[in-house]
A = this chain, B = another copy of it.
Amino acid sequence: MAGNTFGELFKVTTFGESHGKAIGVVIDGCPANMGIDLDAIQHELDRRKPGQSAITTQRKESDTFQVLSGVFEGKTLGSPMAFIINNEDQKPEDYAHLQTAYRPSHADYTYDVKYGIRDHRGGGRASARETAARVIAGAVAKQLLNLYGVHICAYVSAVGKLKLEKDYKQLDLSTTDDNIVRCPDAATADKMIELIQDTRAKGDTIGGTVTCVIKGTPVGLGEPVFDKLHADLAKAMLSINAVHGFEYGSGFEGTTKYGSENNDIFTKEDGKITTLSNHSGGIQGGISNGMDIYFNVGFKPVATIMQTQDTVDAEGNATEIKGKGRHDPCVVPRAVPIVEAMAALVLADHLLRSRVAKL
A residues 93-136 near B (Cβ < 8 Å) are 102, 104-107, 109-111, 113-119, 124-126, 130
Q: CA A263 – CA B103 in complex, angstroms?
A: 10
B358 and A33 contact, CB distance less than 8 A: yes
A109 and B4 contact, CB distance less than 8 A: no
A contact patch SS: mixed
B316 and A160 contact, CB distance less than 8 A: no
Please pick, from B102, B260, B300, the residue contacting A255 in the complex, using a CB distance under 8 A.
Answer: B300
Stretch at the interface among A49-57, A175-183, A185-193, A217-225: A217-225
- The interface bits of chain A over 46-70 (1 if a CB of B lies within 8 angstroms of the residue's CB, else 0) are 0000000000000000000011111
A11 and B20 contact, CB distance less than 8 A: no
Q: With contacts A245-B246, A263-B105 known, is A357 near B32, CB below 8 A?
A: yes
A219 and B285 contact, CB distance less than 8 A: no
B14 and A80 contact, CB distance less than 8 A: yes
B235 and A357 contact, CB distance less than 8 A: no
Q: CA A259 – CA B330 in complex, angstroms?
A: 9
The copy count of this chain in the complex is: 4
A6 within 8 A of B: yes
A213 within 8 A of B: no
A268 within 8 A of B: yes
A residues 191-244 near B (Cβ < 8 Å) are 199, 204-209, 219-220, 222-228, 230-239, 244
A174 within 8 A of B: no
- B-side contacts of A264, CB under 8 Å: 104-105
A252 and B255 contact, CB distance less than 8 A: no
A286 within 8 A of B: yes
A90 within 8 A of B: no
A273 within 8 A of B: yes
Please pick, from B31, B102, B104, the residue contacting A356 in the complex, using a CB distance under 8 A.
Answer: B31
Q: CA A124 – CA B356 in complex, angstroms?
A: 20
Q: CA A106 – CA B259 in complex, angstroms?
A: 12
Enumerate 20 A-B pairs (CB-CB under 8 Å) in ascending A order: A1-B353, A2-B29, A3-B224, A15-B79, A32-B115, A32-B116, A105-B263, A109-B219, A110-B283, A126-B285, A206-B257, A230-B238, A231-B235, A231-B238, A234-B237, A244-B250, A244-B251, A244-B255, A245-B246, A263-B301
